[in-house]
Amino acid sequence: MVNLQKGQKVSLRKEGGGSLRHILVGLGWDPVEKTSSGGFLSSIFGGGGDDIDCDASVLLCKDGRIRTVDDLVYYGNLKHASGAVQHAGDNLTGEGDGDDEQVFVDLDRVPAEYDKLIFVVTIYHAKKRKQDFGKIQNAYIRIVDSDTNQVHCRYDLSENAQCNGKTALICGEIYRRGGEWKFNAIGEATQDDGLDDIVKRFA
């Protein structure tokens, strides 16, 4: 397994040769521990405060741009029309160990006109609920070879200081280069207010 740093790129090829075909893209995060001290975090999480609902989405791009809403895979559209990308469903709280949301990708079935798959995480109603990624910890994205269940690479991307006030996270992208698929660890936190704003960024 390769542990990636921000901006690092890795080829999606098996150690013994040959390209990965079926992959699981797992995204995980944990809410900052709730406190009973009556302090600032208590005002966020205690007394009936809302849990933070993070949502993972995938933008399927042509020439680096998303052309239609049908090329957005998220909790409201779990499967791309090509059958190449399928979202396993929404996790509402981020509680528990392991991946919070998962996306399955059949790289062989991604139509040739798509050159990039961008993986993002947004907070549901972030500004309305006064929530941001500074209240999320241990965020990561990992790629698993579904055929062998071996983790190919992982990128740990949450740094609370840089995420304070940020409501969206562009985690990484799988892109086609010279007939080969690669992964780019992006880790860019933004103030986009929900998925609509993220889509506009890449439209």
Domains of the chain: 2-201 (2.60.60.30)
Instruction: Give the pLDDT confidence of 74-91 residue by residue, as tens digits.
Output: 999 999 999 999 999 876
Average pLDDT over residues 149-153: 96
pLDDT at residue 93 greater than cutoff 70: no
Instruction: Give the pLDDT confidence of 34-84 residue by residue, as tens digits.
Output: 554 444 443 343 333 567 889 999 999 999 999 999 999 999 999 999 999
Structure confidence at residue 149 (pLDDT): 95
Q: Which of 17-21, 67-71, 162-166 has the lowest mean pLDDT?
A: 162-166
Nearest to 180 by CA among 1, 9, 2: 9
pLDDT at residue 94 greater than cutoff 80: no
Spatial contact of 174 and 186, defined as CB atoms under 8 Å apart: no
Average pLDDT over residues 112-135: 93
Structure confidence at residue 197 (pLDDT): 94
Mean pLDDT of the chain: 88
Structure confidence at residue 97 (pLDDT): 65
Nearest to 117 by CA among 87, 162, 88, 151: 87
Spatial contact of 90 and 55, defined as CB atoms under 8 Å apart: yes
Percent of the chain predicted with pLDDT > 70? 86
Structure confidence at residue 31 (pLDDT): 85
Spatial contact of 49 and 43, defined as CB atoms under 8 Å apart: yes
Spatial contact of 185 and 154, defined as CB atoms under 8 Å apart: no
